[in-house]
């Protein structure tokens, strides 16, 4: 899929999860220590503006507290427009170099949406299939950079899983989540 298509797909799957949440669900714990379901949405809505500003893109502030599902719809629609209209523009980062903006969003943000879908699903006591092939591919790439990933502070310590665990469970364990976690 193109970066635009991948974002549309992952953002819609995440939107379906937000729509499944009741008002009482937003305070539920998640597999991410100290985060609630609302915090997962807030994270995805709030970190991207600083990232894309390096490409001269300004995203509007979107309040999450009162209606996380609406906040998600607004942010996802805005990001989709950026991908559709400006995805070929250059993104420059001292850490990652130059690449098309669409590729940068796909690599860092859309993948984050995809992984945090598991967190939100579990907070809502739902299961989600992230796709074995995609999980295996992302895990293989992340394992090559494990020292950098761990030192970033963005991921918890690896959670051990059985050798014969699914690719999804191995990925979830790698990023510091217990695949058996339930709210």
Q: Which domain holds residue 96?
A: 3-128
Q: Is the pLDDT of residue 3 over 80?
A: yes
pLDDT number for residue 13: 97
Q: How far apart are CA 35 and CA 43, in angstroms?
A: 10
pLDDT number for residue 4: 95
One domain for residues 66 and 109: yes
pLDDT number for residue 93: 83
Last residue of a domain, one of 102, 128, 154: 128
One domain for residues 141 and 122: no
One domain for residues 99 and 156: no
One domain for residues 114 and 136: no
For the chain, how many structural domains are there in total? Answer: 2
pLDDT number for residue 55: 87
One domain for residues 48 and 15: yes
One domain for residues 113 and 134: no
Last residue of a domain, one of 92, 110, 128: 128
One domain for residues 72 and 106: yes
One domain for residues 70 and 139: no
One domain for residues 47 and 113: yes
97-143 per-position pLDDT tens digit: 888 999 999 999 999 999 999 999 999 999 999 999 999 999 999 88
Parallel, antiparallel or unpaired: strands 90-93 and 97-100:
antiparallel
53-100 per-position pLDDT tens digit: 988 899 999 999 999 999 999 999 999 999 999 999 988 888 778 889
Q: Which two tokens stand for residue 81?
A: 């427009």
Q: Which pTM does this prediction carry?
A: 0.93
One domain for residues 80 and 144: no
Q: Is the pLDDT of residue 183 over 80?
A: yes
pLDDT number for residue 73: 97
One domain for residues 26 and 111: yes
One domain for residues 102 and 160: no
In order, the DSSP letters of 108-138 are IIIHHHHHHHHHHHHHTT------HHHHHHH
């Amino acid at each position: 899929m193109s970066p635009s298509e991948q974002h549309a797909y992952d953002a819609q799957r995440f939107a379906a999860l937000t729509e499944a949440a009741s008002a009482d669900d937003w305070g539920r714990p998640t597999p991410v220590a100290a985060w609630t379901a609302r915090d997962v949405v807030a994270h995805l809505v709030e970190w991207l503006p600083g990232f894309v500003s390096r490409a001269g893109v300004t995203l509007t502030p979107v309040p999450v507290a009162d209606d996380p599902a609406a906040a998600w719809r607004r942010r996802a629609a805005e990001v989709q427009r950026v991908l559709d209209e400006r995805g070929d523009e250059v993104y420059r980062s001292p850490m990652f170099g130059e690449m098309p903006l669409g590729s940068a969003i796909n690599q860092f943000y859309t993948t984050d949406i995809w992984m945090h879908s598991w967190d939100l699903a579990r907070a809502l006591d739902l299961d989600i299939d992230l796709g074995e092939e995609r999980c295996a591919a992302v895990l293989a790439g992340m394992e090559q950079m494990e020292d950098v990933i761990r030192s970033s502070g963005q991921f918890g310590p690896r959670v051990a899983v059985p050798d014969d665990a699914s690719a999804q469970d191995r990925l979830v364990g790698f990023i510091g989540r217990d695949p058996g976690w339930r709210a």
